[in-house]
Amino acid sequence: MAGALFLGLDVGTSGVKAILVREDGEVAASALTPLTLSTPQPGWAEQDPDAWWQATIASIRQLRAEMPDARIVSVGISGQMHSSVFLDRAGEVIRPALLWCDGRTTEQCAEITRRAGGEDRLRDWVRNPALEGFTLPKVLWLRQREPEAYSRLATVLLAKDFIRYRLTGALATEPSDASGTLMYDPANLRWSDDILNAVGVPRALLPEVGGSSEVLGTVTADAARLTGLDAGTPVVGGGADNACGAAGVGVVTPGEAVASWGTSGTVLAPTAQPLVDPGLRAHTFCHVVPGVWYLMGVVLSAAGAFNWYHQQLARELDESGASRRALDAEAASVPPGAEGVTFLPYLQGERTPHRDASARGAFVGLSLAHTRAHLTRAVLEGVCFALRDSVAILQELGLSPHSLLLTGGGAKSPFLQRLQAEVFGLPVGTVNREEGPAYGAALLAAVGAGAFPDMAAAVRSTLTRIPGDTPSPSSHAAYDEAYARFRALYPALKGVAGAN
């Protein structure tokens, strides 16, 4: 496949990334088109799927402009999980998508649990509890709150599957994203008629499920004209952004774990079986590799919380890498524990471990002696502590990784790498590629095009591990008191700092 390039797309919350990857794994070009998030009410979060599509076109066109002669042989797509695209019979978007971090469906979650006959049933049917972020409660919300829109509903898609639909005309998904809908049984790899019948949602609303590295469509003439891709280019199933992010740092087999900072933060550990957290605090989903699942804890605001802080309280610093470094330096000027200041990053509610869409953020412990540097450190520590809750759950479930691969925003800064190592008490590492989910999607495209026999081979041929910080027992212990303060804060503030 000399000269072949694989296009990886990632429909993130903050933007649509497109990259071109060579067969040896080198990234030949990359483009990012930013997106905005609409929060019409506190706790709500929406985006227009057509804005994703326009951003996708812009990113691909930018790559095309940079490399007009590129021979793009296949496309893989990754995307934010759970977000609901509602399409009518003509394939047009009915209303903005309710996103993975939208918390408006608490009532619908209670209804799903009641109609299923309790959480034990949900565990048996779909291996996960009803959480506001998942897709099914959003379908029920539409049915109850916008019945006219629901009457026109013909198909429910996920973000990256909508982009595939616009690229190829094919309505399809694959197991890693289907897992996050609460309508799919990740253990038995099929839509769950049990849950669909219990809540009265027709199976016909859902697309067929193919494989993550299987070709599920080809670029249409219309999409070719808009994007500059060749008509007929194969598009593979792709995967959920967290699964593709793990694949993008080479974590495709059990025994390893990844900590990721996107808008959300996640800690993910692959498993050889669909293990379920008895407390249902971590999610059980399919990986992009057949026969592999993962357990994942989700922090709803990770880079999202840091970006909010940056925009609201450090606005004089632009969003460049230099500004991030300035904020890191500010945080580094204060000792571990931020001299008593604690930050709860629950700006958009929290999933793991609290499962509370109405939770809210807080700064606590302020005195006249504190400066913005303390707040900056507290925000970064707060995000790491929230992720540590997920690390602790995975450890409690017997998945005790010896180290964590870092990806996303938290991998980009030496300060954040060290902070995570010390807070988690585990060695951390990175890989020689920084493109995260888009990279995993490009590898799926390469496997789909036959460049590699499977993802394990693709990862072996393209990625190199870079060992990072190893914390000393004392550097980990330096956070004991601050972490204990963090743990005590949510129960203390519940009902005071909540949305309800």
Ligand X SMILES: Nc1ncnc2c1ncn2[C@@H]1O[C@H](COP(=O)(O)OP(=O)(O)O)[C@@H](O)[C@H]1O
Ligand Y SMILES: O=C(CO)[C@@H](O)[C@H](O)COP(=O)(O)O
Active site residues: 241
Confirm or reject binding of residue 439 to ligand X (CB under 6 A): no
Confirm or reject binding of residue 323 to ligand X (CB under 6 A): no
Q: Which option in ligand X, ligand Y, none does residue 307 bind, with CB closer than 5 to 8 A by kind?
A: ligand X
Angle between helices 437-448 and 241-248 (to 10 degrees): 80
Cβ proximity to ligand Y, 167 vs 298, nearer residue = 298
Confirm or reject binding of residue 266 to ligand Y (CB under 6 A): yes
| Span from 12-20, 85-93, 109-117, 386-394 in contact with ligand X (CB under 6 A) | 12-20
| Span from 180-188, 255-263, 393-401, 479-487 in contact with ligand X (CB under 6 A) | 255-263
User: 455 in helix, strand or coil?
Assistant: helix
Q: Which option in ligand Y, ligand X, none does residue 81 bind, with CB closer than 5 to 8 A by kind?
A: ligand Y
Under 8 Å between Cβ of 5 and 20:
yes
Q: Which option in ligand X, ligand Y, none does residue 324 bind, with CB closer than 5 to 8 A by kind?
A: ligand X
Q: How many residues bind ligand Y (CB under 6 A)?
A: 15
Confirm or reject binding of residue 241 to ligand Y (CB under 6 A): yes
Confirm or reject binding of residue 113 to ligand X (CB under 6 A): no
Confirm or reject binding of residue 408 to ligand X (CB under 6 A): yes
Under 8 Å between Cβ of 284 and 267:
no
| Span from 6-14, 145-153, 347-355, 476-484 in contact with ligand X (CB under 6 A) | 6-14
Confirm or reject binding of residue 448 to ligand Y (CB under 6 A): no
What residue number has its CB nearest to ligand Y?
A: 262
Residue with tokens 């496309």: 75
CA distances from 476 to 135, 343, 344, 419, 425 (A): 38, 19, 20, 9, 5
Q: Which option in ligand X, ligand Y, none does residue 199 bind, with CB closer than 5 to 8 A by kind?
A: none
CA distances from 394 to 249, 281, 283, 388 (A): 19, 10, 11, 10
Confirm or reject binding of residue 262 to ligand Y (CB under 6 A): yes
Q: Which option in ligand Y, ligand X, none does residue 125 bind, with CB closer than 5 to 8 A by kind?
A: none
DSSP 379-432: HHHHHHHHHHHHHHHHHHTT---SSEEEEEGGGS-HHHHHHHHHHHTS-EEEES
Confirm or reject binding of residue 181 to ligand Y (CB under 6 A): no
Q: Which of 142, 101, 94, 10 is nearest to 308 (CA)?
A: 101
Figure out which of the listed residues 81, 406, 441, 451 binds ligand Y, where binding follows CB under 6 A.
81
Tokens of 106: 């608490």
Q: Which option in ligand X, ligand Y, none does residue 82 bind, with CB closer than 5 to 8 A by kind?
A: ligand Y
Cα 165 versus chain centre, distance: 21
> What residues from 318 to 337 belong to the interface with ligand Y (CB under 6 A)?
none
- Determine the Cα–Cα distance for residues 416 and 430; give it in Å rounded to an integer: 12
Do the annotations mark residue 82 as ligand-binding? yes
Figure out which of the listed residues 80, 168, 179, 407 binds ligand Y, where binding follows CB under 6 A.
80
Do the annotations mark residue 81 as ligand-binding? yes
258 has which bridge partners? Answer: 268, 405
- Determine the Cα–Cα distance for residues 411 and 430; give it in Å rounded to an integer: 7
Figure out which of the listed residues 4, 14, 61, 228 binds ligand X, where binding follows CB under 6 A.
14
Tokens of 285: 């989903």
Residue with tokens 């931020």: 338
Tokens of 403: 């180290």
Confirm or reject binding of residue 409 to ligand Y (CB under 6 A): no
Question: Residue 6: which residues within 8 A CB-CB, separation 6 or more?
Answer: 20, 21, 23, 72, 73, 74, 75, 76, 442, 443, 445, 446, 449, 451
What residue number has its CB nearest to ligand X?
A: 409
Burial of residue 308, with CB atoms counted within 10 A of its CB: 0-12 exposed, 13-18 middle, 19 or more buried: middle
Cβ proximity to ligand X, 19 vs 416, nearer residue = 416
Binding mask 196-225 for ligand X (x = CB under 6 A): ------------------------------
| Span from 249-257, 349-357, 407-415, 476-484 in contact with ligand X (CB under 6 A) | 407-415
Confirm or reject binding of residue 413 to ligand X (CB under 6 A): yes
Figure out which of the listed residues 412, 418, 476, 487 binds ligand X, where binding follows CB under 6 A.
412
- Determine the Cα–Cα distance for residues 442 and 213; give it in Å rounded to an integer: 10
Confirm or reject binding of residue 129 to ligand Y (CB under 6 A): no
Under 8 Å between Cβ of 178 and 140:
no
R_g (Cα) of the chain, nearest Å: 21
Figure out which of the listed residues 8, 9, 12, 283 binds ligand X, where binding follows CB under 6 A.
12
Confirm or reject binding of residue 100 to ligand Y (CB under 6 A): yes
Q: How many residues bind ligand X (CB under 6 A)?
A: 18
Angle between helices 372-396 and 321-332 (to 10 degrees): 90
What are the two backbone dihedrals, phi and then psi, of residue 372, each rounded to the nearest 5 degrees? -60, -30
| Contacting positions for ligand Y (CB under 6 A) | 12-13, 80-82, 100, 133, 180, 241-242, 262-264, 266, 298
Known binding site: residues?
A: 81-82
Known binding site for substrate: residues?
A: 81-82
| Contacting positions for ligand X (CB under 6 A) | 12-15, 241, 261-263, 303, 306-307, 324, 408-409, 412-413, 416, 436
